[in-house]
Amino acid sequence: MATVISIGFFCLLAIAVFYCGHRLYVRPVRIGERLGAPVGMAELTSLETVRAPEKGVLIRIIEYIGEQVPLSPEDASLARRQLMAAGLRSAVAVRIYYGAKIVACIGLLAAALLLRNQLTSNAMMRIVLVIGGAVLGFFGPNLVLDHLITRRHDKLRLSLPDALDLMVVCMEAGLGLDQAMVNVSRELAMTHKEISEEVGLVSLEMRAGKRRSDALKNLATRTGEAELRKLVATLVQADRFGTSIAESLRTHSDYMRVRRRQEAEERAAKVGVKLVFPIFFFILPSMLVVAAGPGLLQLFKHLFPLMRQFGQ
């Protein structure tokens, strides 16, 4: 009897799990596969969300502190351009950035004041430690932002040849430049997210009524990457003089790949010079110890007794 009850309970539990899994996971996935992505909105999935995420208490505090910082229009515009180049396009990014600078400055200053007696006993070093903590806290976010900008520039530069090749294929298939940008933004959303977002923004600006040249110039200004500025200049000139845009894109893509290969060869040529100091200070002493160490030990072992005999 107990076995029958156990088997029946197990069957009921398995049916319940199967039913819940089918309703919650399998059925929505099948419906989503049938429907596909929203028509004409696929390029927006990586640019915005339906519902903005709720801010935490710390973020709200930092935003409030940054809102109280007096900023000139020039400083605010410069900070906004740098944040956009790093991929931070939120409307409150400038306030959070300056708020983070103030919070980091106050936090490191307080930490330096509390730990100065434990870290050093020199009065001058205590003063330097306090001042250095405040300076590091205020300018630390600048270093982090520069790192984010550099990393994003590298990703854009490395993904640009693939985007150009895909754009050339689309244009040779009969599409215009605007629709080719839409396809590039859609197809590269998974592999090259950064270039997909930037091209998608250009497409959205042109859909909003902005001229193509102005949208492309905004792309160069927004990213601040040298290769994108060259590409924008090429596209604007080709559009102005009526030359083949596909041929210009192919030439620019080949030029970028040749330049990348030349940069790799240049870095490889510099490796020998850069390895001189690590070899001289780290590898060479170890090799000398391993190679000449036993011989020197034997020399000292036999030489010192002979020197004592001669001394006597």
Reported as a single tens digit per residue, the pLDDT across 3-39 is 656 676 667 767 776 666 666 655 555 555 554 444 4
| Residue 59 vs residue 96, higher pLDDT | 96
pLDDT tens sequence across 115-125: 888 877 788 88
Task: State the residue for tokens 């998608």.
Answer: 200
What domains sit in the chain, N to C, each tagged with a CATH number? 59-149 (no CATH), 154-267 (1.20.81)
| Residue 259 vs residue 46, higher pLDDT | 259
Average pLDDT over residues 120-142: 86
Asked whether residue 203 carries a pLDDT value surpassing 80, the answer given is yes
Q: Please give the share of the chain, as a percent, with pLDDT higher than 70.
A: 83
> Phi and psi dihedrals of 54, rounded to 5?
-75, 135
CB 194 within 8 A of CB 176: no
CB 258 within 8 A of CB 241: no
- Of the ranges 42-56, 83-97, 185-199, 272-286, which one carries the lowest mean pLDDT score? 42-56
Q: In this structure, is the dihedral angle defined by the CA atoms of residues 195, 199, 205 and 208, taken in order, positive or negative? A: negative
176: left (phi over 0), alpha (psi -120 to 50) or beta: beta
Asked whether residue 45 carries a pLDDT value surpassing 70, the answer given is no
Q: Under 8 Å CB-to-CB from 90, ≥6 apart: which residues?
A: 96
State how far the Cα of 65 lies from the Cα of 62, in Å rounded to an integer.
5
With cut-offs at 50, 70 and 90, classify the pLDDT of residue 72: confident
CB 195 within 8 A of CB 163: yes
pLDDT tens sequence across 222-252: 888 888 888 888 888 887 887 778 888 888 8
